[in-house]
Amino acid sequence: MVWEQLGGNLTQGLVLGAVYGVATMGLSLIFGVLRVVNVGHGPFIMVGAFVTLSMFMALGVAPVAAIPAALLVGIALGFVFFYTTMRRLIKAPELASLLATFAMGILLEEIVKHIFGAEFRGYTWDVGKIVLPMTVMPMTKVYAFIGSIVVAALLYLWFNRTRMGTAIRTVVEDSEGARVCGVNVGWIYALSFAIGIGLTVMSGVFLAMFIPVGINPYMGGAYTLKAFVIAVLGGLTSPYGAFFGGLIFGLVENGSYTLFALLPHVEPFALTRFLTFLILLIILLIRPTGLLGAKK
């Protein structure tokens, strides 16, 4: 019985891990190009969840249809925040960009709270389920998993098969060399920040499809913490590493919870978080650049 439950939770964890991976790709992209750590990451995920909720409740639109809308909202927010704030902080001390992104997150939370209120919200979208040998998987989670895989694959193709993707990789390698070769580095910074925020907001749709309850303006904090762990696991500058780091994190999170729940007088959630950071510490001791980070 325990092994069956563990197998079911690992399956659920793999699906959730794909969503975590997409949610972290934007964080890694922004750091890789701009060398900016977005500590306001979670509130952008929250915005995506509210885009999903709003379109479903007000317009009756299926959450899947909210994916392109959330991407456009995120890209627009990315350009606005870049040209109003981040453009002036590219070469500034790290503390300045940390405070700026932290302020962005708070601003988003308070705006959403003013519009929607602070209470927890949720929705019900029943489109069937799949019965697997060890678990029952709602189709909403299957859609979130497939969508996450598709987004990761499209991002990979865009980076490696398009001129703009090549320009971004060039700036990551050597911004001054790219500038000498005629690349508009300022535009690449703006585009990368906007795409990174767009991916983050869009991941909120997938997350709301996987967990359609508990949507509130302050839900992002926990996901900021998870995203940083995942980003470091996969190599902080590698969006692809972030995706695979998300898969690992999802498996560890769901699998360890099942085992810790068997122990008496312990809090499984707390031990799961402890184990996550323990694994992070071990990986950083063995490979400081992360699983898929470039060797120095």
On whether residue 14 sits in a domain, the answer given is yes
What's phi and psi for 136, nearest 5 deg?
-110, 125
For residue 238, being part of any structural domain is answered with: yes
Average pLDDT of every residue of the chain: 89
254 located within any domain:
yes
pTM of the model: 0.92
pLDDT at position 296: 45
Total domains, the chain: 1
Q: How far apart (Å, rounded) are the C-alpha atoms in residues 163 and 170?
A: 10
The pLDDT value recorded for residue 292 is: 63
* Dihedral angle sign, alpha carbons of residues 98, 99, 100, 105: positive
Instruction: Quickly list H helices, the chain.
Output: 2-34, 41-59, 66-84, 94-116, 139-161, 163-173, 175-180, 185-210, 220-234, 239-260, 268-286
Instruction: Specify the CATH number for the domain of residue 37.
Output: 1.10.3470
pLDDT at res. 172: 86
Listed as ranges, residues in the chain with pLDDT below 70 are 1, 291-296
Model pLDDT, residue 70: 96
CA 101 centroid distance within chain:
15
- The number of helix segments (H) and strand segments (E) in the chain equals 11, 2
291 located within any domain: no
**Residue 263: inside a domain, yes or no?**
yes
**How confident is the model at residue 294, as a pLDDT?**
55
- Spatial CB neighbours of 102, under 8 Å, sequence gap ≥ 6: 39, 40
- Domain carrying residue 78: 2-117+130-286
Residue 295 counted as domain residue: no
Determine, yes or no, domain membership for 123. Answer: no
Query: Do the domain assignments include residue 122?
Result: no
